[in-house]
Amino acid sequence: MKKGIHPNNYRLVVFQDMSNGYTFLGKTTAPSKETIKWEDGNEYPLIKLEISNASHPFYTGKMKLVDSAGRVDKFMNRYKDHFNKKK
């Protein structure tokens, strides 16, 4: 590992998945303006996530993707014959 290129100001923060409310405590150097009271009674900076292992289709086993632009639907329509042949 190269010396002098990694930050040394890691701190504990709470990450919150906005899609399902799942929270976990971790370390990061990312800035945050919000704080939240954690289970241990201490207050930590809060970083909001759009997706985490609690909501990602790969980890949950649910292969439903939410796509506001409709790209998933376009893909499925384009290759529906290919998917039907495999069944």
Asked if residue 71 has pLDDT above 70, the reply is: yes
Of 14 and 60, the structure prediction assigns the larger pLDDT to 14
Asked if residue 39 has pLDDT above 90, the reply is: yes
pLDDT (0 to 100) of residue 58: 66
Q: What does pTM read for this prediction?
A: 0.63
Please classify residue 73 by burial: count the beta carbons closer than 10 Å to its beta carbon, then call 0-12 exposed, 13-18 middle and 19+ buried: exposed
> Please, what is the average pLDDT of the chain?
83
Please classify residue 13 by burial: count the beta carbons closer than 10 Å to its beta carbon, then call 0-12 exposed, 13-18 middle and 19+ buried: buried
pLDDT (0 to 100) of residue 10: 93
**Residue range 9-13: average pLDDT?**
93
